Chain A
Amino acid sequence: MDRYARALQYMLDFAESQPDRLEGIGKSQKSLRKQAGELVDKELLRSLNKFHVQPFKDSLRIDFMNLIESYVKRREKNPRARYPRIRIDADELMNRLEKPGVSMAEFNKLYEKLDSQKTVYFCRYSDHRDYSLLFNPYKKRLYAKLYLLSQHDEFKLIPHKNPGSIFQVVGKNKLLTTSGRPERFIIVPLSFGKKQEQLLLEALEKPGMLKTARLLKKNDEYYLSVNIAIEPEKIFEVNGYAGFSMADECTMVYTVCGLEGEMLKHGEIEIRSGEGIPPSDRDGLHILANSMTRICLQYKAQAVLETFPRYNALTDILDYKMPLKGLQKPVRVSPFGLWQTCPRCGYNRKKNKVVGDVFLCACCGFGIKRKFLPPYNLAKRLIKYQNDKVHFYCEQHGNRRIIRNALLDISYPLGPSEGIHDFFEYIEKKTDELRGVLSDRENEWTRQEKKLYSVWNKLLTAGDIKDVIVIES
Chain B
Amino acid sequence: MSIYIETGFDSLTKYGEELCGDKAEIIRSSDSVIMVLADGLGSGVKANILATLTSKIIGTMLHEGAEIEECVDTIARTLPVCSERGIAYSTFTILKIHKTGEAYLAEYDNPETILIRNGKAMNLKKTVRTIKDKKINECQFTVEPEDMLILFSDGVVHAGVGKLLNLGWEYENVLEYVENAMRPNLTARMLSRQLVAACDSLYLQKPGDDTTVVTAKVLKPAEVRIMVGPPVDTANDGMVVHKLLESTGKKIVCGGTTSQIVSRETGKDLKVNIEYHNAAIPPTGSIDGIDLVTEGVLTLGKSLDIIKQYVSLSAKNGNNLNLSKKDGATRIASMLLEECTKVHFLVGRAINPAHQNPDMPLSLSIKLRLVEDISKCLRSLGKEVEVEYY
- A and B assemble together: yes
Q: List 25 A-B contacts (CB under 8 A).
A: A344-B320, A345-B322, A355-B177, A357-B164, A358-B160, A358-B165, A358-B201, A360-B198, A360-B202, A363-B194, A363-B319, A364-B318, A365-B193, A365-B194, A365-B197, A365-B318, A366-B197, A366-B201, A367-B164, A367-B201, A369-B164, A401-B274, A403-B274, A420-B274, A469-B276
B163 to nearest A CB, angstroms?
A: 9
Q: Give Cα distance in the complex from A369 to B201, angstroms.
A: 10
Q: Do residues A420 and B283 form an inter-chain contact, with CB atoms below 8 A? A: yes
Q: Do residues B276 and A368 form an inter-chain contact, with CB atoms below 8 A? A: no
9 extra A-B contacts, CB within 8 A, seeds A365-B195, A471-B275: A344-B318, A351-B180, A355-B165, A358-B165, A358-B202, A363-B183, A464-B279, A471-B277, A472-B275
Q: Does B17 contact A (CB under 8 A)?
A: no
Q: Do residues B183 and A365 form an inter-chain contact, with CB atoms below 8 A? A: no
Q: Do residues A363 and B276 form an inter-chain contact, with CB atoms below 8 A? A: no
Q: Give Cα distance in the complex from A466 to B277, angstroms.
A: 9
A355-B173, A356-B166, A472-B326 in contact; A362/B318 too (CB < 8 A)?
no
0/1 per residue, A439-473, Cβ < 8 Å to B?
Answer: 00000000000000000000000001011011111
Residues of A within 8 A of B81 (CB): none
Q: Do residues B320 and A345 form an inter-chain contact, with CB atoms below 8 A? A: yes
A377 to nearest B CB, angstroms?
A: 16
Q: Contact residues of B with A, CB < 8 Å?
A: 160, 164-166, 169, 173, 176-177, 180-181, 183, 193-202, 273-277, 279, 283, 315, 318-320, 322, 326
The 6 A-B pairs of least Cβ separation, nearest first, read A367-B201, A365-B197, A365-B198, A364-B318, A351-B180, A471-B276
Interface residue range, chain A: 20 to 34
Q: Give Cα distance in the complex from A466 to B199, angstroms.
A: 40
Q: Do residues A363 and B201 form an inter-chain contact, with CB atoms below 8 A? A: no
Nearest residue, chain B, Cβ from A467: B279
Residues of A within 8 A of B276 (CB): 420, 466, 469-471
Residues of B within 8 A of A420 (CB): 274, 276, 283
Residues of B within 8 A of A362 (CB): 177, 180-181
Q: Do residues B320 and A364 form an inter-chain contact, with CB atoms below 8 A? A: yes
Q: Give Cα distance in the complex from A355 to B175, angstroms.
A: 12
Residues of B within 8 A of A464 (CB): 279
Q: Give Cα distance in the complex from A353 to B172, angstroms.
A: 13
Within 8 A of B (CB), among A384-434: 394, 401, 403, 414, 420
Residues of A within 8 A of B326 (CB): 472
Nearest residue, chain B, Cβ from A401: B274
Q: Do residues A365 and B274 form an inter-chain contact, with CB atoms below 8 A? A: no
Residues of B within 8 A of A355 (CB): 165, 169, 173, 177
Nearest residue, chain A, Cβ from B179: A351
Residues of A within 8 A of B273 (CB): 473
Q: Give Cα distance in the complex from A146 to B64, angstroms.
A: 103
Q: Contact residues of A with B, CB < 8 Å?
A: 344-345, 351-353, 355-358, 360-369, 394, 401, 403, 414, 420, 464, 466-467, 469-473
Of residues A366, A403, A469, which shows the largest number of chain B Cβ atoms within 10 Å of its Cβ?
A366
Residues of A within 8 A of B275 (CB): 394, 471-473
B93 to nearest A CB, angstroms?
A: 21
Nearest residue, chain B, Cβ from A466: B279
Q: Give Cα distance in the complex from A327 to B195, angstroms.
A: 40
Nearest residue, chain B, Cβ from A369: B164
CB < 8 Å neighbour of A365 from B160, B176, B315: B315
Residues of B within 8 A of A345 (CB): 318-320, 322
Residues of B within 8 A of A471 (CB): 274-277
Q: Give Cα distance in the complex from A473 to B283, angstroms.
A: 12
Q: Give Cα distance in the complex from A365 to B199, angstroms.
A: 8
- The number of inter-chain residue pairs (CB within 8 angstroms) is 91
Q: Do residues A360 and B274 form an inter-chain contact, with CB atoms below 8 A? A: no
Q: Do residues B319 and A365 form an inter-chain contact, with CB atoms below 8 A? A: yes
Q: Give Cα distance in the complex from A471 to B197, angstroms.
A: 34
A365-B201, A403-B274 in contact; A358/B164 too (CB < 8 A)?
yes
Residues of B within 8 A of A466 (CB): 276, 279
Q: Give Cα distance in the complex from A369 to B176, angstroms.
A: 19
Q: Give Cα distance in the complex from A30 to B274, angstroms.
A: 43
B204 to nearest A CB, angstroms?
A: 9
Q: Give Cα distance in the complex from A352 to B194, angstroms.
A: 13
Q: Do residues B164 and A356 form an inter-chain contact, with CB atoms below 8 A? A: yes
Q: Do residues B180 and A473 form an inter-chain contact, with CB atoms below 8 A? A: no
A109 to nearest B CB, angstroms?
A: 51
A393 to nearest B CB, angstroms?
A: 10
A1 to nearest B CB, angstroms?
A: 58
Q: Give Cα distance in the complex from A355 to B198, angstroms.
A: 11
Q: Do residues A353 and B165 form an inter-chain contact, with CB atoms below 8 A? A: no
Nearest residue, chain A, Cβ from B322: A345
CB < 8 Å neighbour of B196 from A365, A403, A414: A365
Residues of B within 8 A of A351 (CB): 180-181
Q: Give Cα distance in the complex from A404 to B199, angstroms.
A: 45
A415 to nearest B CB, angstroms?
A: 12
A321 to nearest B CB, angstroms?
A: 34
Residues of A within 8 A of B319 (CB): 345, 363-365
Nearest residue, chain B, Cβ from A396: B274
Q: Give Cα distance in the complex from A473 to B285, angstroms.
A: 12
Nearest residue, chain A, Cβ from B283: A420
Q: Give Cα distance in the complex from A361 to B169, angstroms.
A: 14
B16 to nearest A CB, angstroms?
A: 21
CB < 8 Å neighbour of B177 from A353, A357, A469, A472: A353
Q: Give Cα distance in the complex from A352 to B166, angstroms.
A: 20
A187 to nearest B CB, angstroms?
A: 64
Q: Give Cα distance in the complex from A194 to B326, angstroms.
A: 60
Residues of B within 8 A of A401 (CB): 274
A383 to nearest B CB, angstroms?
A: 14
Residues of B within 8 A of A364 (CB): 194, 197, 318-320
Residues of B within 8 A of A394 (CB): 274-275
Q: Give Cα distance in the complex from A403 to B274, angstroms.
A: 9
Q: Give Cα distance in the complex from A467 to B277, angstroms.
A: 9
B235 to nearest A CB, angstroms?
A: 34
Residues of A within 8 A of B318 (CB): 344-345, 361, 364-366
Nearest residue, chain A, Cβ from B183: A363
Residues of A within 8 A of B315 (CB): 365
Q: Give Cα distance in the complex from A358 to B279, angstroms.
A: 39
Q: Do residues B194 and A367 form an inter-chain contact, with CB atoms below 8 A? A: no
B330 to nearest A CB, angstroms?
A: 13
Q: Do residues B181 and A473 form an inter-chain contact, with CB atoms below 8 A? A: no
Q: Give Cα distance in the complex from A382 to B180, angstroms.
A: 28
Q: Do residues A367 and B274 form an inter-chain contact, with CB atoms below 8 A? A: no
Q: Give Cα distance in the complex from A363 to B321, angstroms.
A: 11
Residues of A within 8 A of B195 (CB): 365
Nearest residue, chain B, Cβ from A470: B277
Residues of A within 8 A of B164 (CB): 356-358, 367, 369
Q: Give Cα distance in the complex from A466 to B276, angstroms.
A: 9
Q: Give Cα distance in the complex from A247 to B18, angstroms.
A: 39
